[in-house]
Amino acid sequence: MTELHDLSAVALAAAIRNREVSSREALTHFVQRVDRLDGPLNCVVTRDLDAAYAAAEAADEALARGDKGLGPLHGVPMTVKDSFSTAGMRTTSGAPELSEHVPTEDAWPVAALRRSGAVIWGKTNLPIYAGDLQSYNEVFGTTHNPWDIERTPGGSSGGSAAALAARFTPLELGSDIGGSIRLPSHMSGVYGHKPSYGIVPAHGQIPGPPGSLTLADLAVAGPMARTVEDLELGLSVMTGPDRWNSPAWRLELPPARQRELPRFRVAAWFDDASCPLDPEVATVLHGLSDRLEAAGCAVDRDARPGFDLSKVAERFYGLLNAALSGGYSVGDLERFATAQGDGAVAVTKRQTAMRHRQWLSHNESRLQMRRKFEQYFEQVDVLLLPVMPTVAFHHDHSEPMSARMVSTEAGMRPYWELTRWMAPAGACYLPATVIPVGIGAASGMPIGVQIVGPYLHDHTTLAFASALGELVGPCPTPAGFGG
């Protein structure tokens, strides 16, 4: 039998359901694996084993009784990002002021996973309030990349991605407002899906403060895994109406437009002057287009949605900084509004303090771009984008964050420039699936691709990812974590 830690969530659920392994045995296997291998990585930062073993034993007893109607993740142990509230288990979002915070209710995606039968036993690390491309904080310290511990696994769902890459969990729950599912999936070599905005209710995530009811603009919750099948299952479990719309709102996502690789109408947007790719990333992604064409898939390398990356990035960063402004005091915002200069720090401050009329302008521009994407996807099924212009970079915790520079093959680059390819799907509410498609020749680090589709056509991006996975092979394993 394949090692338990190498099984997908779907396969592990089947093994538990068929009584090939018990939920308790599976939980013990993952706990012992984390005990043995997590020291240098620091992925899993909180555990509640008493509650987890009680849930695992209850799952085993239900199977022994022959109970019917068990969920698709019945008995499957998993971890979740520490920004999601977990009833009875510490939830800190990496913030010292929340270091002893123990919620009394689950976040909605966590509750949905539990209803499906999942046994949630641990929390994975992140930056403070999920606000960085790296995963470190004063409460738990720094999480390291399983491929190279001198590099970050990404952020903000970096602990989630690292735990998946190291085979500490078969499934994870991440969140994404500025790329926090997509960036770590690329940097750690795992799969991630940023859902269409609004289809996965994320009540109970921190930030905002515990008890907040606001669902922030751009922000989504979504699954992370090592197979597309697990992403599909995770998405199906978590989708639905939020608390305000549940009396009447129902969700029926369109079926995948295609299933077979040669039948997809594919566009590849890998070149843009505002964010050129490092040579090793460009080699892998352009090589992917070549491989798709060799497999019989028509790839349009020139089709664009009617605007360039610079334009959508400008709107994205404005909307993103506005969405993140709630954590600042009135005094902070008044000071930010008067920041002078065109540097990254000053621009970020002014965007964070923008007036509502400025936000309305950004939003109208976003809606115009969404309209262009609607027209674009009449001729195209999926759009392939880079995730980042470089591979996972070395740790840098200098402040201020927006003034950081990253050393890459192409030279020193501004920190937030690395998120520019997050803009099209992020600003326009589109689904985006990330899967690893190669290894960088210079760095030996994984490289992912972003598969973007029309709004609410999540099944299309997932179907293409599944077909593409057959071409590029399974999720890679970092050295030292395959046994």
DSSP annotation of 42: -
For helices 23-37 and 49-65, give the axis angle rounded to 10 degrees. 150
Cβ atoms < 10 Å from Cβ of 209: 14
| Residue from 156, 188, 196, 365 carrying the catalytic annotation | 156
Count the Cβ atoms, other than its own, within 10 Å of residue 483: 10
Angle at the Cα of 261 from the Cα atoms of 258 and 267, rounded to 5 degrees? 85
Does the active-site annotation cover 311? no
Q: Sign of dihedral through CA atoms 8, 9, 10, 14?
A: positive
Which of the residues 8, 180, 443, 466 is marked catalytic? 180
- From the list 155, 169, 136, the residue with the least C-alpha distance to 29 is 169
Residue holding tokens 């995530």? 205
Of these residues, 81, 123, 194, 349, which one is catalytic?
A: 81
Degrees, nearest 5: CA angle 394-397-398? 115
* 398 in active site: no
Q: Residue 236 is which amino acid?
A: S
Rg (CA), the chain: 21
Cβ contacts of 328-337, under 8 Å, gap ≥ 24: 328/352
Cα angle 144, 226, 419; round to 5:
55
Spatial CB neighbours of 352, under 8 Å, sequence gap ≥ 6: 321, 322, 324, 325, 328, 333, 336
Q: Are 16 and 56 in contact (CB under 8 A)?
A: no
State the Cα angle at 234 between 69 and 481, rounded to 5°.
115
Burial class of residue 11 (count of CB atoms within 10 Å of its CB; 0-12, 13-18, 19+): middle
Q: How far is CA 246 from CA 173, 202, 239, 240, 241, in A?
A: 22, 13, 12, 8, 5
Q: Is 310 among the residues known to form the active site?
A: no
Residue listed under structure tokens 């012992």: 32
Residues designated as active site: 81, 156, 180
